[in-house]
Amino acid sequence: DAGVTQSPTHLIKTRGQQVTLRCSPKSGHDTVSWYQQALGQGPQFIFQYYEEEERQRGNFPDRFSGHQFPNYSSELNVNALLLGDSALYLCASRLAGLHGYTFGSGTRLTVV
Amino acid sequence: AQSVTQPDIHITVSEGASLELRCNYSYGATPYLFWYVQSPGQGLQLLLKYFSGDTLVQGIKGFEAEFKRSQSSFNLRKPSVHWSDAAEYFCAVGGPLTGANNLFFGTGTRLTVIP
């Protein structure tokens, strides 16, 4: 049973560019959340998707957007990249109504 | 405001010794509390969680945590540490005010285990 799968594992982008990160939730899970983990920090909640809609959002600018597909997979898009966007981006999934997320291994984004 | 404080940035223990990692939280309602572990280059693995009921919670890998409402604490313990426990540990809080989806994490405690 595959857990949460994220791609790519590493990515280098230039300031001002746009990036798309992908996440496949654990089998049977229908809810996906995204977190940003800067170096030496704990993860920070970006947003959560359920039934293809953004249900809750953390304190992140509109440059951060997402999407959830009918198969529950999800994308995180970041526009106009800043150096400060460099971080590990974690995707987490769960089954709606239950608690306790399963996290993926993350995508390491470096903005130069 | 919601927050989590993990006062110990780095802890070193000998293999076989007992361990306690501290976590204090601020939350305006009854919290949901979690401990996660992260190995280098890996995602987060859930060790245990508290929602209600018995304040002593048992988790995986021999870990346990105790919720103390009066102290706003949720400390993680293990009676005998193994070398494989070396990792980063994160305490997190969520709940009805912010939703169980929106977890607030502490900055983590890095655990080093010496032979």
Which of the four pLDDT bands, split at 50, 70 and 90, describes residue A96? confident
User: With 60 as the cut, is the pLDDT of residue A102 above it?
Assistant: yes
- Interface check A60 vs B, CB under 8 A: no
At B55 the pLDDT is 92
Which of the four pLDDT bands, split at 50, 70 and 90, describes residue A6? very high
A80, A70 Cβ separation under 8 angstroms: no
At A30 the pLDDT is 93
Mean pLDDT of the residues in chain B: 92
At B94 the pLDDT is 85
DSSP letters spanning B50-75: E-SS-SEEE-GGG-EEEEEGGGTEEE
Q: Which residues contact B52 (CB under 8 A, 6 or more apart)?
A: B30
**CB-based contact A92 B44, cutoff 8 Å:** yes
Residues A31-89 pLDDT 10s: 999 999 999 899 999 999 999 999 989 999 999 999 999 999 999 999 999 999 999 99
At A25 the pLDDT is 96
The residue among A49, A82, A3 whose CA lies nearest residue B101 is A49
**CB-based contact A43 B41, cutoff 8 Å:** no
Residues B15-66 pLDDT 10s: 999 999 999 999 888 889 999 999 987 889 999 999 888 999 999 999 999 9
**CB-based contact B49 A100, cutoff 8 Å:** yes
At B99 the pLDDT is 67
Q: How many C-beta atoms surround the C-beta of residue B113 within 10 A?
A: 19
Higher pLDDT among residues B28 and A106, named by residue: A106
The string over B36-65, giving b where at least 16 C-beta atoms fall within 10 Å of a residue's C-beta and e elsewhere, is: bbbeeeebbbbbbbbbeeeeebebeeebbb
Angle, alpha carbons B94-A4-B31 (nearest 5°): 10
Mutate to test the interface with A, among B98, B101, B104, B107 (most CBs of A within 10 A): B101
Q: Which residues contact B77 (CB under 8 A, 6 or more apart)?
A: B18, B19, B20, B21, B63, B64, B65, B66
- Interface check A40 vs B, CB under 8 A: yes
Higher pLDDT among residues A95 and A108, named by residue: A108
Of all residues in chain A, the one with the smallest CA distance to B89 is A42
Residues B91-107 pLDDT 10s: 999 877 776 668 899 99
* Rounded-to-integer distance, Cα A47 and Cα A58, Å: 6
Q: What's the token pair of residue A5?
A: 């799968």
Residues B78-92 pLDDT 10s: 999 999 999 999 999
Q: How many C-beta atoms surround the C-beta of residue B103 within 10 A?
A: 29
